[in-house]
Every structure is written in structure tokens, then in C-alpha cells.
Chain A
């Protein structure tokens, strides 16, 4: 009894000690640190990030423009995500100097900062972007500035037209009531013909260009390099040395599909490898989104996305780079054309009931006004019971022009024969029995 109470007291004291420990009441320690601010090409677009002192290497895709910039900032360790975080909003001091690029210990290039912009042809939230440097960067930025100015001008004009419209509309209502009071009978068609028309809102700027930035631009062939920053006084800036891994894809420019099965639309499947077959077990609707894709080493690619990531050098991942649009999915059965399917938008409508709980409907602006489509894709309806057998599909740019590597097969498994599998594994025993009987006969 005495022992257990002593033990409990000890535990309580330890707990109290831990709770009153000053470390629990404080935030993580913040340190000033030289980090590399990154804007790296990830195969489809540019993603910002930073490389803290704890990481000794920066990974980037070879033969593409990548922007790096050494900066002094506040860095702290965030235990919840087990990552170092940078407080660029509090401190973001640029370091002047020349970035030296080394290979096998020799300086092969000395880089100065260059003007650059990232251009998003389909808007900031689209999946693709390109980096432009020097004069081109200025041109693209001016183009965006001009487009934005024109847009604001159109907005002003629109507001003016809206004001005019509202005045005209109010006047129309007043006139209408006066005419009705005067005993004039107006049909609905008459009113609709006379009512002032609301002006359409101006179309926004579809593309986006980031503000001009000045960074060191690395566009390197595949290989391992080192970088360091030489200050204006000729000394090497402390902690500026990093390894640089420029890597390429293992396979590139092939065609992959994102497949949304109709029976579980939130759980998408991928058919990245042309050698992969799609096995189906019953009637199903598949929505396909074709992509151009590249295959990268998992470790390199994850380190590119965030230098603090852990990757697996043995694994390879496919990165969907560009969606393939304006193509037809051609569905075949036993080499016979079944249908050519266009890409269309779809809307997922939630429905009450014990079954799927949703319904996938073809989207149209009239039917779903004010709502955006849930996804887009080429709709394939496949069934093993229709007597059509197995299917195959591919992409065609124009009729008969098959996109290489887009071919896939859909096979329907025969579920009813599953139990026969154990039976066929017996046949080596039958062979053994035959050998045994033969041997017996020859002996006798």
C-alpha cells in the first residue's frame, strides 16, 4: 500500500513538473536563418517553396527554368507537421551577391539575378504555366497589365451602362403603370418586347502573369551540382552551400487516364501505363480524362515539391502534366467501332435514398444555372451482359488518327468460374498419378 501510494505521488509530481515546465507555455524557438526561396517547375506549373538549412539539397527538373533566391528569414520548427516553417512575412531580407554553380568542385557558372515572370495562359488556378525571362518577362507582364487596365475600363463602362439600365428600367416601370392606369391593355409579349435589356458583364482577363521578380535562374542539364553564394566582398556567404540535383523523367509524354467510376465518383482510378488493363466485373459507367504524363522518381519529385519531404528512391510516380482536350474517345468491341465519345461536363446531384446517394447528370448552364460542373470527362458505358464481350478504347484527334499510347483494354472477369480455380491446381497431382501408374506397370 505504502509502495503504491509512493509510486502515485511520484507520477503526480512528474506530471505537475511537466505541466509547469516553461517549454509548454512557449512557442517553438525562432531562429534567423539563410534559406533558399524557390519557385520550381514541377512538370506542369510553378510551385513556390523554400529550402531550410536542415536540407542539404535542392531538387529540380533538368532543362527547365527554375528560380532560386537566397534570403534571410525567421525559421521555426512546427512539431505538428514535423517541418521547418519560414516567416517570410516577418523577415524577408534579400542577399546580394553572385550565385556560383559548381560541378565536381569546379565553378562552371556565375549567375546574376534575372528578371522573370510566370505566365498562366488559362488563369492562375489552371494547371499549366511557363516562366519567361528578361525582355520576354517584361513583354508578358506589360501584356497582363494592359489586359487588366482594359478590363477595369470595361468594368467602368459596365457600371455606367448598369446605371443607365436601372434608370431606364425604373422609367419603364413608371410608364407601364401610367399606361395601365390610362386603361391600356398590354400583353406579356408586348411588355417583354419593350422592357430594357440588362447589359452583359465584361469578360475578365483569362490569363495571369505574376509581378516581375528578380531571381537566380537555374536551367541545367541532368546531373548533380553544388551552389554557393559569393558576396560582393568576395567571401562565401555562410550556409549558402547546397547540393543541386537536376533530374529528368524516366518515361515522358505518354498518355494516361484519370478514371472516375460511376458507382463511386469520389474515388478516382488512374490508368497511367499503356500495359495496364482495366478489369471490370459488371455494368459500369466510366468517365475518362486523358492527360499527357511524365514518370519521375518518387524521391526526387517529392523533394522538388518540398525539400523537407521524405521520398522513396525505389518508387516511380506518374505526374499528369497537360490535359488532352479536343479529342474523341473511340470505343471498340472486337475491333468494331461502337461509338466516338466527346468530352462533356457532368454534375453530381445528391439524392436521398439507400443506394448510391447521388446521380451523375450531364451538365447544362440552363439546367444548373449558377452552379459549376462537378467534373468533365468522356462517358463510357460498358457492360458484360450486353453480349458485346471485351472492350478497347483509344483517343483520336481526327477520324482515324489514333494517338499513340492511348490504347487501353477493358476486360470483364468471369466471376462464375472463381470456384474452378482450386480444381485446376490439382492437375500436377494427376500427372504424378500417371507417372506413378506407368512406373508400377513397368515394374510389374
Chain B
């Protein structure tokens, strides 16, 4: 067990450095950041349009939803590049070569995880710049809740990255990995979005078929509540909304436990399946 989970820090550092710089020098990161912020801009524009139309809008944190959309796009990007890099290295035999050296499953997967988290921290910088500019341009408040939401997003991304590592440890082909990852994440996201939408509507406004759908989604959400990475963000956002630091801390702790379990599982699966999958 000790050898399985022991990893040389310098090897991990070297792997992180190599992958991080490589991604930083490519266009993908900047393009995904641009697309995520563009999507936020569209949402903000329609939000401002609604205020203009009604003359009044009461909202706690109007920037939280655009942040959520940006976050989803960026986390999909990070998850996909993680899966692609692992699958490619498996396909091309790079992983096998690495494993002949001082690299083992744990150091390899931890390096991938840290690299993705560092990339997300770069994204966080973009978010801070973007939302500060939005706030000063539109007067929508850059609140303490938004700062808390951005901090919380780091842990959601941790969940998604570890989930993507888990999926890539299970599959051997790049295409299969991407299809599984995107399919599952989209399904989780769709359940969460539709459920939130139906929950926010008054019962009287729902037809009987929508009521049944809401009940079904309620049950499905309860089932996926501890599996879906997005539900961890949802818990955190609710704790921000009610201003409970205890629940906020708990949601961060849950996310860390989730990431840890998936990372350990990924290492075990990779060990069991071997580098050739």
C-alpha cells in the first residue's frame, strides 16, 4: 500500500511543471476563458435588460449566476483536457515509458490533478478581473458573497477534475473517455438545472405532468446528490445565500472528501488495470 500511494515530490513537480506550462502556452485556456466570459456577458446583458424593462429588480447576487455559467464551461474544458492528456499518453505509450522511470500511478494522477487546479487558479484571476470590470461598468455589486462563491468554485473544480481522472482511469480509449465524461457531466448538469427550475416555480403554475417530472427529478437529485460534482457547488451556494459559515465550511469539506475518494479510486483502478489499460 505504501509504495502504491507514495510519490516522489520532485517527480510530481516536474510533471506538473511540464503539463502546466504546456497548457499555459497553448490557446485552449484563453479561448475557453473567453468563451466562458462571453456567455456570462450575454446573461448579464439580458439581466440588465430585465432591470431596464421592469425598472426594479431585487437580487442578492446578480453576478453569481454568470459566474456559475463561466465555471461550468471552464470546468468542462479542464475535465476534457485532463481526459485527453491521460488517454493520449496511454494511447501513444508515453505513460508506459514514464512508468519505467520514477513515475507511479499516484504521482502521475496527483500531478494531473495539481496541474488542473493551477490552471483553474489562472481562470480565477480572469474571473476577478472580469467581474470587477463588470461591477464598475454596470454598478451590479461585487459582493463578499461573490468572493465566497469564487473561492467555493475552486472546490467544485476539484470535484470535476477528480471525477474526470476517475473516468479516464476507467476507460482506455480517448473517444470513449470523452463521451463518458461529457455524457455523465451533462446529465448531472441537466438534472440539476431542470430540478432547480421546477423547484423555483410555484406548484400552482405547474401542470400535472410537470409536477410528476418535478417529483421524479427530486428523487433522481436525491440519488445523484452525493455523486454529482455540481450538487457540491449547489450546497455551497445555498450556504452563501443563508450566510451560514458552518454549512459553507462543511460543503468545502465534502468537496475535499469527494475529490480525495475519487483520486484514491483512480489510483487503485490505474494500478489494477495497468498502464496499457
Chain A residues proximal to chain B, CB less than 8 Å:
250-251, 259, 261, 263-264, 269-271, 273, 275-282, 284, 286, 302, 309-316, 390, 409, 411-415, 417-418, 420-422, 424-429, 431-432, 435-436, 439
Please determine whether B52 and A424 come into contact, CB atoms closer than 8 angstroms.
Answer: no
Out of B60, B138, B139, name the residue touching A273 (CB < 8 Å).
B60
A144–B32 Cα distance when bound, in Å, is 72
- Contact (A261, B56) CB under 8 Å given A309-B203, A427-B130, A428-B37: yes
Out of A251, A263, A424, name the residue touching B55 (CB < 8 Å).
A263
Minimal beta-carbon separation of A430 from chain B (angstroms): 9
What are 21 of the A-B contact pairs (CB < 8 Å)? A259-B58, A261-B56, A263-B55, A314-B199, A411-B140, A414-B137, A414-B139, A418-B48, A418-B49, A418-B138, A422-B41, A422-B42, A424-B41, A424-B137, A426-B34, A428-B33, A429-B31, A432-B27, A432-B31, A435-B24, A436-B27
A421–B40 Cα distance when bound, in Å, is 9
A415–B54 Cα distance when bound, in Å, is 13
Minimal beta-carbon separation of B155 from chain A (angstroms): 21
Minimal beta-carbon separation of B205 from chain A (angstroms): 12
A271–B56 Cα distance when bound, in Å, is 12
Minimal beta-carbon separation of A4 from chain B (angstroms): 31
Judge whether B62 is part of the interface by a CB distance below 8 angstroms. Answer: yes
Judge whether B29 is part of the interface by a CB distance below 8 angstroms. Answer: yes
SS class, residues of chain B in contact with chain A: helix
Q: Which residues of A contact B31 (CB under 8 A)?
A: 428-429, 432
Please determine whether B52 and A281 come into contact, CB atoms closer than 8 angstroms.
Answer: yes
- Contact (A420, B56) CB under 8 Å given A425-B130, A428-B30, A435-B25: no
Please determine whether B37 and A275 come into contact, CB atoms closer than 8 angstroms.
Answer: no
Please determine whether B25 and A279 come into contact, CB atoms closer than 8 angstroms.
Answer: no
A250–B62 Cα distance when bound, in Å, is 24
A302–B243 Cα distance when bound, in Å, is 24
Judge whether B133 is part of the interface by a CB distance below 8 angstroms. Answer: yes
Q: Which residues of B contact A428 (CB under 8 A)?
A: 29-31, 33-34, 37, 126
Count chain B residues whose beta carbon lies closer than 8 angstroms to a beta carbon of A. Answer: 49
A411–B142 Cα distance when bound, in Å, is 12
Please determine whether A276 and B58 come into contact, CB atoms closer than 8 angstroms.
Answer: yes
Q: Which residues of A contact B140 (CB under 8 A)?
A: 279, 411, 413
Please determine whether B55 and A412 come into contact, CB atoms closer than 8 angstroms.
Answer: no
Judge whether B9 is part of the interface by a CB distance below 8 angstroms. Answer: no
Out of B38, B58, B134, B243, name the residue touching A277 (CB < 8 Å).
B58
Judge whether B224 is part of the interface by a CB distance below 8 angstroms. Answer: no
Scoring B residues 165 to 207 as 1 if CB is less than 8 Å from chain A, else 0, what string do you get?
Answer: 0000000000000000000000000000000000110010000
Please determine whether A279 and B52 come into contact, CB atoms closer than 8 angstroms.
Answer: no
A424–B29 Cα distance when bound, in Å, is 17
Q: Which residues of B contact A261 (CB under 8 A)?
A: 54-56
Q: Which residues of A contact B59 (CB under 8 A)?
A: 276-277, 279
A269–B139 Cα distance when bound, in Å, is 21
Minimal beta-carbon separation of B204 from chain A (angstroms): 10
Which residue on A lies nearest to B240, using beta carbons? A275
Residues of chain B from 118 to 148 with CB closer than 8 A to chain A in the complex? 126, 129-130, 133-134, 137-141, 143, 145
Please determine whether A269 and B56 come into contact, CB atoms closer than 8 angstroms.
Answer: yes
Q: Which residues of A contact B134 (CB under 8 A)?
A: 421, 424
- Contact (A415, B34) CB under 8 Å given A261-B56, A436-B27: no
Out of B51, B145, B214, name the residue touching A280 (CB < 8 Å).
B51
Closest 10 CB pairs of A and B: A432-B30, A425-B37, A428-B33, A421-B41, A417-B137, A276-B60, A425-B38, A279-B57, A428-B30, A275-B60
A307–B17 Cα distance when bound, in Å, is 61
- Contact (A422, B38) CB under 8 Å given A417-B138, A428-B33: yes
Minimal beta-carbon separation of A249 from chain B (angstroms): 12
Q: Which residues of A contact B129 (CB under 8 A)?
A: 427
Residues of chain B from 59 to 83 with CB closer than 8 A to chain A in the complex? 59-62
Minimal beta-carbon separation of A314 from chain B (angstroms): 5
A169–B23 Cα distance when bound, in Å, is 100
A316–B141 Cα distance when bound, in Å, is 24
Q: Which residues of A contact B199 (CB under 8 A)?
A: 312, 314-315
A281–B50 Cα distance when bound, in Å, is 10
A428–B218 Cα distance when bound, in Å, is 38
- Contact (A421, B62) CB under 8 Å given A279-B56, A432-B29: no
Minimal beta-carbon separation of A42 from chain B (angstroms): 17
A425–B74 Cα distance when bound, in Å, is 14
Please determine whether A281 and B51 come into contact, CB atoms closer than 8 angstroms.
Answer: yes
Please determine whether B55 and A269 come into contact, CB atoms closer than 8 angstroms.
Answer: no
A276–B62 Cα distance when bound, in Å, is 9
Which residue on A lies nearest to B61, using beta carbons? A275
- Contact (A424, B130) CB under 8 Å given A309-B203, A435-B24, A435-B25: yes
A404–B73 Cα distance when bound, in Å, is 40
Minimal beta-carbon separation of B145 from chain A (angstroms): 7
Please determine whether B211 and A439 come into contact, CB atoms closer than 8 angstroms.
Answer: no
Contacts A282-B52, A413-B51, A421-B41 aside, 10 further interface pairs with beta carbons under 8 A come to A259-B56, A275-B60, A276-B59, A277-B60, A312-B203, A412-B139, A415-B52, A417-B138, A424-B41, A428-B126
Which residue on B lies nearest to A421, using beta carbons? B41
Please determine whether A284 and B51 come into contact, CB atoms closer than 8 angstroms.
Answer: no
Minimal beta-carbon separation of A248 from chain B (angstroms): 15
Minimal beta-carbon separation of B32 from chain A (angstroms): 8
Please determine whether B58 and A413 come into contact, CB atoms closer than 8 angstroms.
Answer: no
Please determine whether B133 and A424 come into contact, CB atoms closer than 8 angstroms.
Answer: yes
Q: Which residues of B contact A310 (CB under 8 A)?
A: 203, 211
Judge whether B44 is part of the interface by a CB distance below 8 angstroms. Answer: yes
Minimal beta-carbon separation of A201 from chain B (angstroms): 42
